[in-house]
Amino acid sequence: MNTLVRGGLVVSMDPAVGTLARGDVLVEDGRIAAVGSSIDAAGAEIVDATGKIVLPGFVDTHRHTWQTAFRGVGADWTFDQYRAAMHGTLGPHYRPEDVYLGNLLGRIEALSSGVTTMLDWFHRADRPENADAAIQALRDAPGRSIFCYGAAGPDIEPEIRRVRALLPDDDMALGLRGPVMSTLDETAADVALARELGLRVSLHVHGTGGWPHGDRPIAAMRDRGLLDDRTTVVHGNGLSDDQLAMLADAGGSVSVSPDVELKMGFEPPVTGRALAAGLRPSLSIDDCPSAGGDMFSAMRTALAAERGAVTTRDVLAFATLDGARALGLEARTGSLTVGKDADFVLLDAEDPSVFPVGDAAGTIVAAGHPGLVDSVFVAGRAVKRHGRLLDVDLPKLRARLLESRDRIAEAAGIAVDGSWVP
Ligand SMILES: [Zn+2]
């Protein structure tokens, strides 16, 4: 089945194609077959993009999706409160069913706001059934998802190998315990296992020292040969410029979560310094108890926090093509490029909140919001059309998530109305 997306404002994010004030995108067998100002494709199904922006789907490189049921309860929390609440108070009460619902509704929400590719950074793997439930939810949501197994505790190797056998190559990454929760020797063993199993690695670093790896964790990893082009540092706030340059030299990447970093009181987002060091940052949501789940707000905060150091074009690339690069998927997604999978969104360009669209990147970054997301396609398949998700029974899933949340809250003895201070 061929599809012609016709007559939209095409923001390709492919430097060779650029932005077309009025353009078409031809999709054949789930892939982009042509992008141009006027494509003749007799017999193709027509998707009318008049009055719409055609944009590659967003890429979120780090989200703890399992926490979806507690949306908003942590918007006032510091990082220490978040950690105590989610990992100390609530997390242990999660059953596989709760993990499944959090991951499913969280992934669907991301999809609905245009996130076609997402890395689920899963750190509720205290029992194998939880990991299985998280993976099942990602499979049941029709987006492109990478399961990042966040290892915790000793003797993790057999479980990592078990999960690896469940997933195709591009669909798994390894979340490292270090530098916060393991020694450098343990991190070296984790990285060796990841390399043996062909997994990208992702690790959380923020702050300015005091870790088991010492105060210069990226330098320590570089010295042990543990950095490469499959390494993503989440946050990176507080890392010195020379460590950012080491990550860049190794071909690694950084995932900036601007909303959470600013709200939780981290050091300033590293976006501008990362760019100056030769890195191309990607963007991420991190967690939905603390922040909204859409990439529009992540982009807007990234720009506002680094005004002068980054441009709207930079930020739009962070949220699309650079995210795909950070996940090793730049050959398949992140731009409207011939040969890539047809992962794209249609944004309503006639909504009063954005009309009239002059500079598309400026408008999307400065004024975009999830309400504009009219349609979402993943590998050429429509998963949202005319503002409605397809093939998803939202009322039923909502009821199940509410039941899950209330059960966990009761078991943990907490209120979800904002009165709970961890
Ligand atoms: Zn995180």
**DSSP string over 258-315:** HHHHHHTT-SPPSHHHHHHTT---EE--B-TTTS-S-HHHHHHHHHHHTBTTB-HHHH
Rounded to whole angstroms, how far apart are CA atoms 50 and 414? 49
From ligand 1's centre to the CA of 238, what distance in Å? 15
From ligand 1's centre to the CA of 176, what distance in Å? 11
From ligand 1's centre to the CA of 66, what distance in Å? 12
From ligand 1's centre to the CA of 121, what distance in Å? 7
The secondary element (H helix, E strand) that includes residue 136 is helix 128-140
E strands, 351-392, are 373-378, 381-385, 388-389
The secondary element (H helix, E strand) that includes residue 197 is helix 184-197
Average pLDDT over residues 110-127: 96
From ligand 1's centre to the CA of 112, what distance in Å? 22
Average pLDDT over residues 336-350: 98
pLDDT value for 152 = 77
Average pLDDT over residues 115-139: 96
Query: Is residue 342 within 8 Å of 380, Cβ to Cβ?
Result: yes
- Does 288 score more than 80 pLDDT? yes
pLDDT value for 303 = 97
From ligand 1's centre to the CA of 85, what distance in Å? 14
Rounded to whole angstroms, how far apart are CA atoms 108 and 102? 10
pLDDT value for 67 = 98
pLDDT exceeding 90 applies to what percent of the chain?
A: 93
pLDDT value for 42 = 92
Q: How far is CA 260 from CA 78, 293, 367, in A?
A: 9, 11, 20
Q: pLDDT tens, 249-282?
A: 999 999 999 999 999 999 999 999 999 999 999 9
From ligand 1's centre to the CA of 122, what distance in Å? 9
Q: pLDDT tens, 212-225?
A: 989 999 999 999 99
From ligand 1's centre to the CA of 300, what distance in Å? 19
pLDDT value for 239 = 96
Task: With CA atoms as reference, report the closest residue to 246 among 213, 222, 265, 262.
Answer: 222
What's the pLDDT band for 1 if we cut at 50, 70, 90?
Answer: confident
Mean pLDDT, the chain, rounded, equals 96
> In 401-420, which positions are buried (b, 16+ CB within 10 angstroms) versus exposed (e)?
beebbeebbeeeebebeeeb
From ligand 1's centre to the CA of 146, what distance in Å? 15
Dihedral of the alpha carbons of 329, 330, 335, 337, in degrees to the nearest 10: -110
Q: pLDDT tens, 302-324?
A: 999 998 999 999 999 999 999 99
Rounded to whole angstroms, how far apart are CA atoms 418 and 414? 10
From ligand 1's centre to the CA of 413, what distance in Å? 25
Average pLDDT over residues 5-26: 98
Beta bridge mates, 62? none
What's the pLDDT band for 151 if we cut at 50, 70, 90?
Answer: confident
Query: Is residue 404 within 8 Å of 98, Cβ to Cβ?
Result: yes
pLDDT value for 153 = 76
Average pLDDT over residues 288-294: 95
For the entire predicted model, the pTM comes to: 0.98
From ligand 1's centre to the CA of 380, what distance in Å? 30
- Does 342 score more than 80 pLDDT? yes
- Does 359 score more than 80 pLDDT? yes
From ligand 1's centre to the CA of 10, what distance in Å? 33
Task: With CA atoms as reference, report the closest residue to 226 among 187, 174, 280, 274.
Answer: 187
Beta bridge mates, 254? 233
- Does 169 score more than 80 pLDDT? yes
From ligand 1's centre to the CA of 352, what distance in Å? 35
What's the pLDDT band for 390 if we cut at 50, 70, 90?
Answer: very high
- Does 209 score more than 90 pLDDT? no
What's the pLDDT band for 170 if we cut at 50, 70, 90?
Answer: confident
CA 296, 389, 38 angle in degrees (round to 5)?
Answer: 70
